[in-house]
């Protein structure tokens, strides 16, 4: 008897949700002429309640995503249905070509997104890229010139901790720290323990890219933490390298910019500058070139503790701004002792990655730079 009543309640809820969804969708369709659709409408106080009602109805009807973003009880996850093996092969080839063109040890740290760690929170039928298989495929196609640093197992071990944002596919500062402890050993240094860092809470209301893409805000906002060493001095200089010149920044943590822009993620300087050169007080002659994406923002503060200089390239920004980053970082002014390619799995599965890593004249072998000889008849 109780089961029959429960079944009736469920049917009523489903019918109510379907009726509600139809009505709200029709209203929003008409209102789209006046800005009532798209993620930006979620910021509009007029449309926000209706969008919330529609999203709630969609989920009530059994859907597990809102505008191509998965919704779970704990977090949002990026919607990705698979990967192209030819693109992964091109990414592996791009890193391998780069490593073989430079006379410096090259390391690859490929980081899973939140979907690669928390994909089991979704229904089995939900289409989701297998990032474990993807990163394994990438690793098998790297040349021997590249040293791979594995991250997935360490992040999986710490998955119950706050290692990924709830509203963004990227790791948190603590997630970056968990991998730093192993990565820096592979890079030839000893990590600092957690107790050697002072943590400052910069923001507790961060809504990341998945909220921006979906407009769905019914999830707890994220914290952004800043890690400071308790023994090291702040960087000696932080310089933005741009095609038209340089600009000295006051700190790696750009708190004023983040607050003025309304985007807390910009507190990490590598999230706002395509090419950044940081000089520290360390006198160990270790010079690192970090080729990265948004995952590098949280990792850079830990790397600074072990190098005299760190030059960081944000590939996403460099490509968006059409910046020839190789011309800026391979101009002969710095002799790098190591190069670390640190990117998320979503970056590595994009065709844009291999395009961004395409070798320029600064790195092409000498014979490849020579103009083709005239092959006419000899005199």
pLDDT value at 337 more than 60 = yes
Predicted confidence (pLDDT) per residue in 273-329, tens digit: 999 999 999 989 999 999 999 999 999 999 999 999 999 999 999 999 999 999 999
Mean pLDDT within 155-163 = 97
Instruction: Indicate the pLDDT class of residue 54, thresholds 50, 70 and 90.
Output: low
Is there a contact between 249 and 240 (Cβ–Cβ < 8 Å)?
yes
pLDDT value at 152 more than 50 = yes
Nearest-angstrom CA–CA distance, 115 and 209: 14
Mean pLDDT within 191-211 = 95
Residue spans per domain, the chain: 2-63, 85-359
pLDDT value at 4 more than 70 = no
- Residue 38 has what pLDDT? 54
pTM score of the predicted model: 0.83
pLDDT value at 126 more than 80 = yes
Top-ranked range on mean pLDDT: pick from 57-61, 80-84, 254-258, 370-374? 254-258
pLDDT value at 158 more than 90 = yes
SS3 call for 183: helix
pLDDT value at 209 more than 60 = yes
Mean pLDDT within 42-49 = 50
Nearest-angstrom CA–CA distance, 210 and 171: 13
- Indicate the range of 13-22, 193-202, 294-303 predicted with least confidence: 13-22
pLDDT value at 207 more than 90 = yes
Distances, alpha carbon 34 to alpha carbons 27, 31, 37, 47, 181, in Å: 11, 5, 8, 10, 51
Mean pLDDT within 155-183 = 97
pLDDT value at 220 more than 80 = yes
Predicted confidence (pLDDT) per residue in 72-119, tens digit: 989 999 988 788 999 999 999 999 999 999 989 999 999 999 999 999
Report the half-sphere exposure of 167 (CA within 13 A, side-chain side).
Answer: 22
Q: Which two tokens stand for residue 52?
A: 């919330």
Predicted confidence (pLDDT) per residue in 339-368, tens digit: 999 999 999 999 999 999 999 877 876 555
Is there a contact between 146 and 95 (Cβ–Cβ < 8 Å)?
yes
Spatial neighbors of 230 by CB under 8 A, at least 6 apart, are 196, 197, 198
- Residue 366 has what pLDDT? 57
- Residue 368 has what pLDDT? 54
Instruction: Indicate the pLDDT class of residue 234, thresholds 50, 70 and 90.
Output: confident
**DSSP secondary structure, 132-176, as one string:** HHHHHHHHHTS-TTEEEE--HHHHHHTTTSS-B-SSSSSB-HHHH
Q: In terms of DSSP bridges, do strands 338-344 and 106-111 run parallel, antiparallel, or are they unpaired? A: parallel
- Residue 367 has what pLDDT? 54
- Residue 202 has what pLDDT? 97
Instruction: Indicate the pLDDT class of residue 35, thresholds 50, 70 and 90.
Output: very low
**DSSP secondary structure, 52-71, as one string:** HHHHHHHHHTT--EETTEEE
Question: What is the percent of the chain where pLDDT is above 90?
Answer: 67
Distances, alpha carbon 138 to alpha carbons 18, 80, 172, 208, 376, in Å: 44, 17, 24, 27, 44
Is there a contact between 211 and 193 (Cβ–Cβ < 8 Å)?
no
Question: What average pLDDT is seen over the chain?
Answer: 84
């Amino acid at each position: 008897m109780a089961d029959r009543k429960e079944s009736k309640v469920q049917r009523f809820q489903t019918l109510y949700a379907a009726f509600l969804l139809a009505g709200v969708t029709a209203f929003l369709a008409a209102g789209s002429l006046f800005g009532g659709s798209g993620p930006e409408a979620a910021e509009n106080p007029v449309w926000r309640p209706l969008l919330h009602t529609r999203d709630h109805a969609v989920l009530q009807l059994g859907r597990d995503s809102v505008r191509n973003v998965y919704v779970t009880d704990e977090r949002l996850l990026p919607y990705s249905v698979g990967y192209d093996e030819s693109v992964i092969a091109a990414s592996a080839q791009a890193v391998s070509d780069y490593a073989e063109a430079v006379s410096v040890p090259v390391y690859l740290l490929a980081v899973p997104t939140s979907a690669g760690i928390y994909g089991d929170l979704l229904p089995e039928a939900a289409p989701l890229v297998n990032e474990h298989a993807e990163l394994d495929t990438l690793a098998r196609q790297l040349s021997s010139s590249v040293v791979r640093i594995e991250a997935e197992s360490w992040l999986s071990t710490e998955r119950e901790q706050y290692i990924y944002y709830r509203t963004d596919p990227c790791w948190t500062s603590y997630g970056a720290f968990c991998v730093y402890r192993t990565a820096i050993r592979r890079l030839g240094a000893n990590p600092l323990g957690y107790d050697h860092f002072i943590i400052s809470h910069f923001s507790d209301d961060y809504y990341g890219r998945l909220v921006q893409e979906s407009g769905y805000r019914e999830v707890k906002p994220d914290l952004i933490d800043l890690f400071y060493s308790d023994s090291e001095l702040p960087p000696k200089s932080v310089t933005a390298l741009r095609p038209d010149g340089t600009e000295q920044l006051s700190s790696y943590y750009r708190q004023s910019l983040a607050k003025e822009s309304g985007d807390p993620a910009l507190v990490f300087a590598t999230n706002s500058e395509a090419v950044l050169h940081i000089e520290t007080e360390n006198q160990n002659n270790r010079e690192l070139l970090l080729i990265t994406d948004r995952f590098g923002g949280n990792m850079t503060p830990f790397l600074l503790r072990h190098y005299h200089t760190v030059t960081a390239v944000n590939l996403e920004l460099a490509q968006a701004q059409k910046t020839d980053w190789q011309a800026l970082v391979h101009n002969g002014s710095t002799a790098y002792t190591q190069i670390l390619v640190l990117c998320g799995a979503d970056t590595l599965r994009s065709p844009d990655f291999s395009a961004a890593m395409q070798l320029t004249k600064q790195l092409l072998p000498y014979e490849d730079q020579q103009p083709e000889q005239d092959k006419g008849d000899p005199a």
